[in-house]
Chains A and B, each alone.
Chain A
Amino acid sequence: MTVPPLTPVLTMSAVVLGLLVVSTLVVWLLRWLRPEGRWDELADRVKAWWVMAAVFLGAVAVHPAVSLVVFALMSFWALKEYVTLLRTRPQDHATLFWAFAAVPAQYWLVHIKWYGVFIIFIPVYVFLLLPVTLVVARETKGFVASASQIHWGLMAFVFGLSHLGYLLQLPALPGRTADGRALVLFVVFVVEMSDVLQYVWGKLVGRHKVLPTVSPNKTWEGLVGGVLSAALLAWPLRFLTPFAPLQTVLVALGVCVAGFLGGAVMSAVKRDFGVKDFGALIPGHGGMLDRVDSLCWSVPLFFHYVYWACY
């Protein structure tokens, strides 16, 4: 097996490194100019970005198998954060075990590139089999709630996120160097930048709340400013994609909006559970789910658009 050339990965690593250095300098500058301000959370976030960027870029650069193991761990961790907050019944035990067993199975399908089964395994087979394992547990009270909650988590955090893996497996199109890895870097970078820029715009000029009852920190100013600026950032990154220039910006716009919606959905889930964050894995960010929520929504849409339009 020949490993594809590293060029797009190296270029993106340089871009990310530059951004991290600039952000770190900005935090130092803010601390120096306004020492009375509370910059600890911001500093924590930037520090955590260093670690996340290193882990993610490393995982993508080394080898596709390593990337898939890391993506599978992301799904596993996210599902675990979700299931821990669910009101599970003792009778759900075996069903939950099989739900977690679906994580390696799904990523194994990605690994062997069996597209036909990858795309229906969780939506069809797991969907049909999970309630059967609940029937075996012979408790009907709360049956529908358990069957739906558990499958919902699998769809969002395992099926949805595993599209990142299949995206990685896509070959380079004829005459181009950018392959699946470049597409992964493109979509993850644009969506995460959109999250960050929505936060920044919201902090700077945010006035009017978008979803006051679901996510009081999200403002129209943050949403529009963040999504538009992230879409513009995609323009110079079109070397990572097979898209035409305008098409790149429009696709970026689409995935950023999808990412916003994913974040909003997960905010609603957190409200329902009565928690602020899904966990404490990443200082300043919360849990794995707090970081990948937007990817769970944007990556499947991005994948299916690319697959339909280019492959």
Chain B
Amino acid sequence: MRRALQAVFFAALVRPFLTLFIGLRVRGREHLPAADPFVLIANHTSHLDTVALLSLFPLRRLGRIRPVAAADYFLAGKARAWVSRTLFNILPVARRKVTRANNPLAVMRAALAVGESLILFPEGTRGQNGEPGRFLPGVAHLAEACPEVPIVPAYLVNLGRSLPKGTVLPVPFFAEVRLGPPLHPTGTRDEILAALEAAVSELRDAE
């Protein structure tokens, strides 16, 4: 039932909104893996980021794609929790009071292990001024723990202007999703982190 609602939501509202209102363009669509699981990483400036990235997939795949989202924010309040779980199929992770049981890394590994793909914003939160922030180390831990899972870098242009942090009404700006080739980074965690940051910034600078 939940997945059917999500499919209807994306077909009837999200896609027309992104096509007609925003005018979203996608570059490098061929880099999207045809099979799950994979990890899609991107810079983060807007709630529209998750919406735009999910819209790249066929409706029937949506059930297996989990945006990793902060439980303290997205599950706060009944309405927001319902929207997050039903319409966006989030994978809630703890940002505070992390214990062995709710360790985000374990939660994400478990999802990948059952064949679900992740959408992950390694900055951990939405940036304010459009410049991508530094990645938190979690993504490097994940890459190290699951070396067989491809990591697809993405850079999102202008969505942060359409719906920046702290606003509720979207303004139409042409926006773009730029996707890069899948990566299997190796080395130390610092090297992995640097490689992933570099892959995303490279897409930012690709004009």
Chain A residues with a Cβ under 8 A of chain B: 76-77, 80-81, 83-84, 88, 90, 93-94, 96-97, 100, 279-280
Q: List 22 A-B contacts (CB under 8 A).
A: A80-B172, A80-B173, A80-B174, A81-B174, A83-B171, A83-B172, A88-B161, A90-B128, A90-B129, A90-B164, A93-B164, A93-B167, A93-B169, A93-B171, A94-B167, A94-B169, A97-B169, A97-B170, A97-B171, A100-B171, A100-B172, A279-B174
A97 to B25, CA, bound (A): 21
Count of CB-CB pairs between chains A and B under 8 Å: 31
| Contact across chains for A84 and B171 when beta carbons are under 8 A apart | no
Question: Whole-angstrom distance from the CB of A226 to the nearest CB of chain B?
Answer: 30
| Contact across chains for B174 and A84 when beta carbons are under 8 A apart | yes
Question: Whole-angstrom distance from the CB of B67 to the nearest CB of chain A?
Answer: 24
Give 12 A-B pairs besides A90-B128, A90-B164 with Cβ atoms closer than 8 angstroms.
A76-B172, A77-B23, A80-B23, A80-B172, A80-B174, A84-B174, A93-B169, A94-B167, A94-B169, A96-B171, A97-B169, A100-B172
Interface of A is mostly: helix
Chain B contacts for A84, CB-based, 8 A: 158, 173-174
Chain A contacts for B169, CB-based, 8 A: 93-94, 97
Chain A contacts for B172, CB-based, 8 A: 76, 80, 83, 100
Most chain-A CB neighbours within 10 Å: which of B161, B167, B170? B161
Chain B contacts for A80, CB-based, 8 A: 23, 172-174
A81 to B172, CA, bound (A): 9
Chain B contacts for A93, CB-based, 8 A: 164, 167, 169, 171
B19-57 interface bits toward A, Cβ cutoff 8 Å, 1 = contact, 0 = none: 000010100000000000000000000000000000000
Closest to B171 in A: A96
Question: Whole-angstrom distance from the CB of A179 to the nearest CB of chain B?
Answer: 30
Chain B residues with a Cβ under 8 A of chain A: 23, 25, 128-129, 158, 161, 164, 167, 169-174
Chain B contacts for A81, CB-based, 8 A: 174
Question: Whole-angstrom distance from the CB of B158 to the nearest CB of chain A?
Answer: 7
Closest to B174 in A: A84
Closest to A101 in B: B169
A77 to B172, CA, bound (A): 9
Question: Whole-angstrom distance from the CB of B56 to the nearest CB of chain A?
Answer: 19
Chain B contacts for A76, CB-based, 8 A: 172
Question: Whole-angstrom distance from the CB of A99 to the nearest CB of chain B?
Answer: 8
A84 to B129, CA, bound (A): 16
A36 to B23, CA, bound (A): 36
Chain A contacts for B170, CB-based, 8 A: 97
Chain A contacts for B173, CB-based, 8 A: 80, 83-84
A88 to B174, CA, bound (A): 13
A100 to B172, CA, bound (A): 8
Closest to A80 in B: B172
A80 to B23, CA, bound (A): 9
Closest to B22 in A: A80
Question: Whole-angstrom distance from the CB of A80 to the nearest CB of chain B?
Answer: 5
A57 to B12, CA, bound (A): 28
Chain A contacts for B161, CB-based, 8 A: 88
A-B complex: 4 closest residue pairs judged by Cβ atoms: A84-B174, A96-B171, A84-B173, A80-B172
Most chain-A CB neighbours within 10 Å: which of B158, B170, B171? B171
Chain A contacts for B158, CB-based, 8 A: 84
Question: Whole-angstrom distance from the CB of B80 to the nearest CB of chain A?
Answer: 22
Question: Whole-angstrom distance from the CB of B174 to the nearest CB of chain A?
Answer: 5
Chain A contacts for B174, CB-based, 8 A: 80-81, 84, 279
Question: Whole-angstrom distance from the CB of A158 to the nearest CB of chain B?
Answer: 13
Question: Whole-angstrom distance from the CB of B130 to the nearest CB of chain A?
Answer: 9
A135 to B23, CA, bound (A): 30
Chain B contacts for A83, CB-based, 8 A: 171-173
Question: Whole-angstrom distance from the CB of A75 to the nearest CB of chain B?
Answer: 12
A100 to B129, CA, bound (A): 23
Question: Whole-angstrom distance from the CB of B2 to the nearest CB of chain A?
Answer: 32
A97 to B170, CA, bound (A): 7
A90 to B128, CA, bound (A): 9
Closest to A281 in B: B23
Closest to B129 in A: A90
Chain B contacts for A96, CB-based, 8 A: 171
Chain A contacts for B25, CB-based, 8 A: 280
Chain B contacts for A280, CB-based, 8 A: 25
A84 to B161, CA, bound (A): 9
Closest to A79 in B: B172
Closest to A93 in B: B167
A88 to B171, CA, bound (A): 12
